[in-house]
């Protein structure tokens, strides 16, 4: 018990975020820390050359000492450089110096769905939730086609900016061709972390549940399954069961979109 307490304190001291005003690479002035994930700390910063706000991701120092940590950070940098999509941040620079390892990328403004649901209390209808899921799937399809899976499509990593969706944080992303020991360990623990496109569909199933539960009003304190609590159409219930791998999983994002299209108003049901 004492060992774990000391280890957590050690990490807290070493992984402290950079102070606002710190200038990196003689160019990027840190504004504030946005958050800390398993491997990195993300900041907003002013690019003094362009005058624009950018996002800067720093590999946590305790992770920089591990082979797995360095691999994940290098993998994220390479994957983001490979992708070219307006809904995914573009990498501008990556470097290593005495302060650590860093990636500079587009800063995506807007609200995460975690903020929209839990802070702003936004409620989504079934049709609205399906429309959002379809837009997200069109983005997911773009990197699946390049052999990349995100493996972390949670509500904090999907942003709505003026009605347009963006997907961020590719820190756990991998290529389908990869099969290192670290990925295998993840596969044994969590279906969302498998190095397969099904892991992204599983995560999107939970994303859809969050959207649908946003308008749910419990009638009893007794906890029930989502199938008992949510009043869903049979088609949406079937869609969720396949996304969550209760029934046979989907084989592609396009297949899921084809399932969604008949459930949307005709003006929204455009094929990709």
Q: What is the mean pLDDT of residues 57-72?
A: 90
For 120, half-sphere exposure in the C-beta direction (CA atoms, 13 angstrom radius) is: 12
pLDDT tier at 269, thresholds 50, 70, 90: very low
Give the residue numbers of the binding site for ATP: 57
Q: What is the mean pLDDT of residues 186-197?
A: 76
Q: What is the mean pLDDT of residues 91-118?
A: 94
DSSP secondary structure letter of residue 261? G
| Domain range list for the chain | 12-106, 111-263
Question: Could you tell me which CATH number the domain at 111-263 has?
Answer: 1.10.510.10
Question: Could you tell me which CATH number the domain at 12-106 has?
Answer: 3.30.200.20
The residue among 199, 209, 217 whose CA lies nearest residue 253 is: 199
| pLDDT at residue 69 tops 80 | yes
Give the residue numbers of the binding site: 57
Known catalytic residues? 152
pLDDT tier at 99, thresholds 50, 70, 90: confident
What is the helix (H) or strand (E) element at residue 20, kind and residue range?
Answer: none
State the pTM of this model. Answer: 0.89
């Amino acid at each position: 018990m004492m060992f774990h307490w000391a280890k957590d304190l050690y990490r807290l001291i070493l992984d402290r975020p950079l102070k606002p005003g710190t200038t990196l690479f003689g160019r990027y002035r840190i504004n504030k820390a946005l958050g800390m994930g398993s491997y990195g700390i993300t900041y907003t910063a002013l690019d003094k050359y362009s005058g624009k706000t950018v996002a800067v991701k720093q590999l946590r120092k305790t992770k920089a000492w591990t082979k797995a940590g360095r691999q994940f950070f290098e993998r994220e940098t390479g994957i983001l450089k490979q992708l070219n999509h307006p809904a995914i941040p573009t990498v501008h620079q990556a470097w290593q110096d005495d302060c650590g390892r860093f990636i500079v990328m587009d800063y995506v403004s807007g609200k995460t769905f975690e903020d929209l649901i839990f802070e702003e209390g936004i409620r989504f209808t079934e049709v609205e939730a399906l429309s959002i899921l379809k837009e997200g799937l069109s983005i997911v399809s773009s990197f699946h086609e390049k052999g990349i899976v995100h493996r972390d499509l949670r509500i904090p990593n999907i942003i709505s900016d003026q009605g347009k969706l963006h997907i961020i944080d590719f820190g756990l992303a991998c290529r389908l061709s990869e099969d290192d020991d670290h990925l295998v360990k993840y596969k044994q623990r969590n279906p969302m972390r498998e190095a397969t496109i099904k892991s992204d569909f599983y995560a999107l199933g939970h994303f859809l549940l969050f959207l649908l539960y946003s308008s749910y009003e419990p009638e009893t304190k007794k906890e029930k399954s989502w199938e008992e609590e949510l009043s869903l159409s049979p088609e949406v219930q079937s869609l969720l069961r396949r996304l969550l791998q209760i029934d046979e999983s989907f084989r592609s994002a396009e297949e899921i979109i084809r399932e969604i299209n008949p459930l949307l108003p005709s003006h929204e049901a455009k094929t990709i």
